[in-house]
Structure 1
Amino acid sequence: MSYNARTLGACCVHVHEILNIPSLLLQIAKCGYSLPVLRSPDPSPCTESLAISDPISHIADPTTRQILRWAIMKMRDDTECVAQSATRSESLGFLQQYGALPWRRSKRGKLKILLITSRERGRWILPKGWPMKGKTPAQAAAQEAFEEAGVIGDPGPEAIGEYTYVKMLRDGSSADCSVILFGLHVHNMLINWPESTQRTRRWFTIAEAAETVSDGELGQVLRRMQGDLDVLR
């Protein structure tokens, strides 16, 4: 089901419950979201610090909570809350990444896989990224799917596959990366999401996805998965 993030205007967030309100609204506005902020009748003196461990736990809608958590995390991008530098395996020399395999079933029960395009070269890939401080590998993969593909869902607890590829870095150099995949059962798709202006997304059958992805090893993982779809349950 598509979800227009601009309808989040119905959500009310108290100033004393959010860290650095102007920065939070700036992050949300960059993605086209609109969230009114209401002052608490009894403002807390610590408006510039996080007053409770989960300041948005009272918000019922899970999509709203996900967007707000993403915005708060982005505010701390260079401090303690976002991706750590990738950890290198000394034995294999690969940089570790975690990826999501977003999936859902059509009305007729057919399995569909969501692919996205890369930002630089427009290749068909899966959402993936570096380890994140405070998140499990599965949670980090789900976060990447939210940011890169605009999908929200339930990540599987166990890895369903692994592949390697060569990542081209912005300085022109390259790095060997190993990606551990986690299934992500999609239950919501955003119309506006953090990287919506930089990527295209499209649903494929698993056979189509195996032939479409640009990374050869990922294609092999998807082909093997055709014979064992239980891994996505």
Structure 2
Amino acid sequence: MLHAHDQSNSTIATVRDVQQAGAICYRRNGSGQLRILLVGSRRNGRWGVPKGNLDPGETTPAAARRESFEEAGVVGDVEATAFGSFSYRKDSSPHHYHVTVHLLHVVEAQLDFPEKGTRKQKWFPLKVAIRDAAQPGLKALLSRLEGVVL
């Protein structure tokens, strides 16, 4: 029989490093200005990029493409080489999340996609996306785009 102090030890979560992939989705508006697509977290609404865990055997570019469609309904050309990475922790989890980020040039936006209605999404000018992104590491990656010709 477990005593009260033994039960508390059995509920301690194991900290894991979780590998994820995400995409900085971008396009140019009619005036040629760069726009970045951010999606809201389902937990807290904070702005970030489409991202998620890799499926077994899935590459990071493929996962970035899949997550972009599932979370935002966007389809496009994904850079095979990672643009960078960032790490974060969720308030609700002890795990460390490491996100490999690819650039995705959006060529089409679908009206129907898996997470429609469960997430907000918005196109931002780059400077506003940098300001509003929730994760410091993501802000740093977005800042790197200021010197990149896309």
Q: TM-score, normalised on structure 2?
A: 0.84
Unaligned runs of 5+ in 2: 1-15
Residue by residue over 1:36-57, the C-alpha shift from the partner in whole angstroms, topping out at 9 and shown as x without a partner, is xxxxxxxxxxxxxxxxxxxxxx
Match in the other structure for 2:69? 146
Task: Work out whether 1:127 is the aligned partner of 2:50.
Answer: yes
Question: Which contiguous aligned blocks of 4+ residues in structure 1 show a shift greater than 6 angstroms?
Answer: none
Count of residue pairs brought into register by the alignment: 135
Residue by residue over 1:93-146, the C-alpha shift from the partner in whole angstroms, topping out at 9 and shown as x without a partner, is 632111011111111111110000011111101000111234321011100000
Task: Work out whether 1:164 is the aligned partner of 2:84.
Answer: no
SS in 2 for 1:211: helix
Match in the other structure for 2:11? none
Matches of 2:66 and 2:93, distance apart in 1: 26
Aligned Cα root-mean-square deviation (Å): 1.4
Unaligned runs of 5+ in 1: 1-92
Matches of 2:20 and 2:107, distance apart in 1: 24
Identity %: 38
Amino acid aligned to 2:141 = V
Task: Work out whether 1:181 is the aligned partner of 2:101.
Answer: yes
Of 173, 177, 197, 2:117 maps to 197
More strand by share: 2
Which structure is higher in RCO with an 8 Å CA cutoff and minimum separation 6? 2
Matches of 2:21 and 2:93, distance apart in 1: 21
Larger radius of gyration between Structure 1 and Structure 2: 1
Match in the other structure for 2:137? 217
Distance 1:188 1:178, change over 3 A: same
Match in the other structure for 1:226? 146
